[in-house]
């Protein structure tokens, strides 16, 4: 189920599992999320858990090591699936609680860090962001910040 996938990814990240089995687990998670027809079946908490887990589990794993192929034949990486899940979350931000919003913001920071905005590529440094931050993530983070602001007392 969607909840099982989100919970198992969160648990693996929370336990800070690493190694070949976790890379395989992450690869299978990417494949599973690519085959899910509608991400609407995930709760806001599930989406936040997946984004957080992807950012945590993929730290230190190069993109080519988690690249896989979806049933349709296109390459799927953590970043591409992250963008897809973030897109779904962005459509439902008003349903997210403050903790879930903070998990999303943290996940974006962990995956993209202070990377060059919107298409300016920089080389990956040890412990730094793995890719430039797409425009979609810039807009998504602004929407997350605005929604989080709405939760603050007046």
Tens digit of pLDDT at every position of the chain (154 positions): 889 999 999 999 999 888 888 888 888 888 888 777 778 899 999 999 999 998 888 765 655 555 555 555 556 677 788 888 998 999 999 999 999 999 999 999 888 876 545 444 444 434 444 456 778 888 899 999 999 999 988 7
Note the pLDDT of residue 122: 42
Expressed as residue numbers, the domain containing 135 is 2-150
DSSP character at residue 124: P
* DSSP run (H or E) holding 76: strand 75-76
Q: How many structural domains comprise the chain?
A: 1
Q: How far apart are CA 152 and CA 154, in angstroms?
A: 6
| Cβ(51)–Cβ(85) below 8 Å | yes
Note the pLDDT of residue 78: 74
User: What does the buried/exposed string (b/e) look like for 115-152 if buried means 16 or more CB atoms within 10 Å of the residue's CB?
Assistant: beeeeeeeeeeeeebbbbbbeebeebbebbeebbeeee
């Amino acid at each position: 189920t969607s909840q099982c996938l989100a919970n198992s990814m969160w648990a693996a990240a929370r336990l800070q599992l690493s190694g070949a089995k976790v890379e395989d687990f992450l690869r299978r998670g990417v494949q599973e999320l690519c085959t899910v027809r509608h991400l609407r079946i995930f709760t806001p908490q599930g989406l936040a858990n997946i984004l957080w887990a992807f950012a945590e589990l993929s730290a230190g794993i190069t993109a080519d090591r988690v690249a896989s192929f979806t049933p349709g034949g296109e390459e799927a990486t953590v970043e591409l699936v992250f963008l897809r899940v973030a897109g779904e979350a962005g459509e439902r931000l008003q349903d997210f609680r403050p903790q879930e919003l903070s998990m999303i913001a943290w996940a974006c920071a962990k995956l993209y860090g202070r990377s060059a905005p919107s298409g300016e590529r920089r080389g990956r440094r040890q412990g730094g962001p793995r890719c430039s931050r797409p425009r979609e993530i810039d807009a998504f983070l602004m929407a997350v910040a605005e929604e989080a602001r709405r939760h603050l007392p007046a």
